[in-house]
Chains A and B, each alone.
Chain A
Amino acid sequence: MIRIDGQLVSPGAGGVYFERMVKGYRVWDPYRSKLAALCMLDESVDLTADMKVLYLGAANGTTVSHVADYVDCVYAVEFAPRPLRDLLVVAGKRKNIVPIAGDATRPDRYAPFLEEIDLLYQDVAQPDQAGILIKHLPFLKERAGIDGGMRVILMLKTRSVDIRRTPEEVFAETVERLESAGLSILNTCWLEPYHHDHAAIVCGGGER
């Protein structure tokens, strides 16, 4: 990841959402983007130029545009028509974004569009976030051996899972489900002070 004076930035043409520019780079605001917040809190998170990324919950394409600046290509899945419109505008300028109108609970509907991916990133406001993530594991590229690298990032919106339970309970249960699905947890953190009641869970491949 590129940092200038402690600020996270991404290389690419600016003017996507009135983001600030520093020395020709686009400032990636951790208060706006959960992935940027994670990168600030966990320096080991890295996006590389050879990565193919599946991004669930692409929304307006703000974070997607930064990811696309770093990686080979992003498959950006979004369900709601209104943010989809903005996503198409962002994808118009960045030719390595493949926008997909789809419901993340039904990967079978858009599976033919996807290819093997290196990183699964999920940021959806749904009750069954662990279940959605597990459904998408078959898209991950099977690597020879386990290199211990990052394969999956889940931004857990605890408030969308169950408002009756505390964020900590929801978090613990989610981690358990991911582990029993064969994923190895590399790191977890709450996104304070940037985002409230959101946890990031970074997983490696494990044996599938």
Chain B
Amino acid sequence: MTEYWCGSVDDEGVFVPFRGSPAELLVRVESLKINMQEFRPLSADLIEGSGFFSGRHEYLRQLREVTILQAQGVIEAAASGKDAELLQMVRMLDQLDEVINLLSERLVEWYQVINPSFSQKGRQGSVKRVLPKIRRSRSRSLRGMADELEGLIAARTSLAADVSRLAAQVIPNTSELVGGLVAARIMARAGGLEKLARMPGSSVQVIGAEAALFSHIRGNSPSPKHGIIFQHRRVHNAPREIRGRVARVLAAKLAIAARIDFYRGEADPGFLSSAQGLIDGIAGGGSE
């Protein structure tokens, strides 16, 4: 006997229809266990010969009702995960950073044209310090742009806080280990909490260092020690010689934390304190 979405065909080749709503048909199909070794697809002759469908159009119409229902279910399930919004927020945050950097550079160059004596030398980094100066410039148009940029920077700050807050709820264990922002970035780069939970620690360690990793796989360079994980202070503050080891241990614990987050969804104080102790022990110069 072979099972199909609309019924089954017994060993004599007789079609036995299954009657039900599209939802009932879908539940049935999803419960079927198909052995591909023995499976024979429905033939057009059989569909027509069954007399169950008034014609080709009717067959496709009813079949589509079921498959479209199934597809809609998959789409909804993907959007309803708690991590879906966090993922979008992190990506928005990272793109905001890029945009702010680009606009700041342009703004400073513009300002230098108006005020040729101005130099950024000795004013290390942050545009924030230059912005107030630019906002007093005599070009009205430039002042307007500077105002807008300041607005963007404020929006970025508040979004970052929102990401941390939401991460602490959605991925409490990973957030506890590396902070909400870094945890959320790692999750976003993995493609979601489920993907991260299925990832080995070694992948978590180099997430975000794909260029270096593939260059290594091609045999041109040493393996990367850390990806996004580097953004966490315990990794970038560690002495160079043990940075790789800290990253490795932290990544291993993050992989476990992600699994607890995905399958249990709540903080595990026992796991967290032992993991923190281990990582701090290594970061502090101890041996494994």
**Interface residues in chain A, defined as those with a beta carbon under 8 Å from any beta carbon in chain B:** 52, 72-73, 81-82, 84-85, 87-88, 91, 95-101, 107-109, 111-117, 135, 138-139, 141, 163-164
Give Cα distance in the complex from A117 to B43, angstroms: 9
**Is the CB–CB distance between B34 and A112 below 8 Å?**
yes
Q: Give 20 A-B contacts (CB < 8 Å), ordered by A residue.
A: A73-B60, A81-B75, A82-B78, A84-B71, A84-B75, A87-B71, A88-B68, A88-B71, A91-B64, A96-B60, A97-B64, A98-B67, A99-B71, A111-B41, A112-B5, A112-B29, A116-B43, A117-B41, A139-B41, A164-B218
Q: B32 at the A/B interface (Cβ < 8 Å)? A: yes
* Contact assessment for B74 and A111 in the assembled complex, using a CB-CB cutoff below 8 Å: no
Q: Mark B234-263, 1 if CB is under 8 A from A, else 0.
A: 000000000000000000000000000000
Sorted from nearest, which 3 A-B pairs have the closest CB atoms? A81-B78, A101-B74, A108-B34
- Chain B residues numbered 30-45 whose CB sits less than 8 Å from any CB in chain A: 32-36, 39-44
In the complex the two chains form, is B74's CB within 8 Å of A84's CB? Answer: yes
Known: A81-B78, A112-B5, A115-B41. A101 touches B71 (CB 8 A): yes
Residues of A within 8 A of B39 (CB): 108, 111, 138
Interface centre among A98, A101, A164 (most CB of B within 10 A): A101
Indicate whether B121 reaches chain A with its CB closer than 8 angstroms.
no
B63 within 8 A of A: yes
Q: Are A99 and B67 in contact (CB under 8 A)?
A: yes
- Write out the residue numbers on chain B whose beta carbons fall within 8 Å of the beta carbon of A98: 60, 63-64, 67
B214 at the interface (CB under 8 A from A): yes
B residues lining the A interface (CB < 8 Å): 3-5, 29, 32-36, 39-44, 47, 56-57, 60-61, 63-64, 66-68, 70-75, 77-79, 214, 217-218
> Which of chain A's residues have a CB closer than 8 A to the CB of B44?
52, 115-116
Chain B residues lying within 8 Å of A109, measured Cβ to Cβ, are 34
Q: Are A91 and B32 in contact (CB under 8 A)?
A: no
Name the residue of chain A whose CB is nearest to the CB of B77.
A81
| B35 near A101: Cβ-Cβ < 8 Å | no
Contact for B36 among A95, A107, A115, CB less than 8 A = A107
Minimum CB distance partner of B46 in chain A: A115
A73 to B32, CA, bound (A): 24
Question: Within the complex, which residue of B60, B75, B79 is in contact with A95, where a contact is CB–CB below 8 Å?
Answer: B60
List chain A residues, Cβ under 8 A from B79. 81
**What separation, in Å, do the CA atoms of A92 and B33 have in the docked complex?**
29
**Docked complex Cα distance between A96 and B56 (Å):** 10
Q: A81-B78, A84-B75, A85-B75 are in contact. List 7 more A-B contacts (CB 8 A).
A: A81-B77, A95-B61, A98-B60, A101-B75, A108-B33, A112-B34, A138-B39
The residues of B that contact A112 with a CB separation of less than 8 Å are: 3-5, 29, 32, 34
In the bound complex, residues from chain B placing their C-beta under 8 Å from that of A115 are 41-44, 47
A191 to chain B, nearest CB (A): 23
A153→B156 CA distance, assembly (Å): 48
Shortest beta-carbon distance from A86 to chain B in Å: 10
Complex Cα gap A88–B64 (Å): 10
Complex CA distance for A84 and B72, rounded to whole angstroms: 9
* Residues on the A chain within 8 Å of B78, using CB: 81-82
Docked complex Cα distance between A117 and B42 (Å): 10
Q: Which residues from chain B contact A107 at a C-beta distance below 8 Å?
A: 36
Q: For A100, what are the chain B residues with a Cβ–Cβ distance below 8 Å?
A: 67, 70-71
- The closest CB in chain B to the CB of A99 belongs to B71
- Nearest B residue to A87 via CB reads B71
Is the beta-carbon distance between B217 and A164 smaller than 8 angstroms?
yes
B70, A138: Cβ atoms under 8 Å? no
Across the interface, name the chain A residue whose C-beta is closest to B219.
A164
Chain A residues whose CB sits within 8 angstroms of the CB of B72 once the complex forms: 88
Closest-by-CB residue of B relative to A73 is B60
Known: A85-B75, A163-B214. A116 touches B41 (CB 8 A): yes
Determine if A111 and B36 form an interchain contact, defined as CB atoms under 8 angstroms apart.
yes
Provide the bound-state CA to CA distance between A87 and B36, in Å.
Answer: 27
| Contact, CB under 8 Å: B41 / A108 | no
A47 → B minimal CB distance (Å): 18
Taking a contact as CB atoms under 8 Å apart, the answer to whether B60 and A113 are in contact is no
